[in-house]
Amino acid sequence: MEGILTACGTAVYAYSGEMAKKRRGEPNKAVFILADETQENYDEIERGWNDEFGPENYMERRLVKILVDNDWFLQRAVPRLHAAEAAEGNVELMHRYKNSAERSFYRSLNALQQLRKHYLMIEREKERLKKELAASASGKARKRDPIEIDLKRA
């Protein structure tokens, strides 16, 4: 128990606790909540984006997690910028912080939207191929001119 009282012991103990949570499948809350923030606010943002995108696989879950964190940092930056402006604090630093958070947020949102668009294109292609296969199986397939096919793809 004495090793826990040192800074190193506390860090090792905390890390082992986080690893135990991962093994049990519990969510890992690795975001730091500041004095003027609440875990409920973060959880609300997380629920909102999960409802919006409904991640189904690892890549989607990971991108949504990045989006949630970037949204959280952006929402954290705006009031701090206003406070710096009101108190004549380090406004330039707060502008950089907010701009960086904004760029990161929109970059992650764009990545998710592109992924969704890619999946939609794949689904449309699958449907088109199913229809084409069904039509050819029933003998209704029409002969397509190779030039027509090339024009549609261009």
pLDDT in tens, 3-42: 444 444 444 445 445 444 444 455 556 678 888 889 999 9
* pLDDT for the residue 13: 45
H/E/C letters for each residue in 96-123?
Answer: HHHHHHHHHHHHHHHHHHHHHHHHHHHH
Of 117, 124, 79, residue with least CA distance to 97: 79
3-state secondary structure of 54: coil
pLDDT in tens, 52-108: 999 999 999 999 999 999 999 999 999 888 888 888 878 889 999 999 999 999 999
Q: How far apart are CA 81 and CA 38, in angstroms?
A: 19
Is the pTM here over 0.85, yes or no? no
Quick one: tokens of 43? 């959880």
| The amino acid at 138 | S
pLDDT in tens, 120-136: 999 999 999 999 888 88
